[in-house]
Amino acid sequence: MPGKYAPPTGELLLARNSQGEPIGCVALRALGSSNSGCCEMKRLYILPTARGLGLGRALVIAILDIAHTLGYDEIKLDTLPSMEAAIGLYKKVGFVETEAYYDTPLAETIFLARSLKNFDGLTLAV
């Protein structure tokens, strides 16, 4: 996924099983101008057969760490109420509900944000 997810302002992480097959992913992109200090987490997905193993949490923590390393101050995301497990994960790692940051035709869209100031990925990893 080149383009808006490409370095130096973005990133794409793929998780693979022991056979090298992709089983999960998450992406990061700048939100607004590249110097706005804000980024967006996108495309978190774990294959159903790989869910429940902590892979989603590991990918989220890894992308938060990358966002912090790239110098972002805040990370945002959008999701839907049906994504209950993902919403629980996001809140466990410090995301809170925020105002909409773009217009969407889906009224039920939930917007979340997390500060990356004083981020410590090691604390979240335990």
The pLDDT score that the predictor gives to residue 32 is 81
CATH 3.90.76.10 is right for the domain spanning 3-125: no
CA angle in degrees (0–180, nearest 5) for 55-56-60: 115
Task: Summarize pLDDT for 32-56 with one digit per residue, the tens.
Answer: 865 689 999 999 999 999 999 999 9
Predicted model pTM: 0.91
Q: Is the peptide bond before 8 cis (omega within 30 degrees of 0)?
A: yes
Query: What pLDDT digit, counting tens, does each position of 6-20 carry?
Result: 999 999 999 999 999
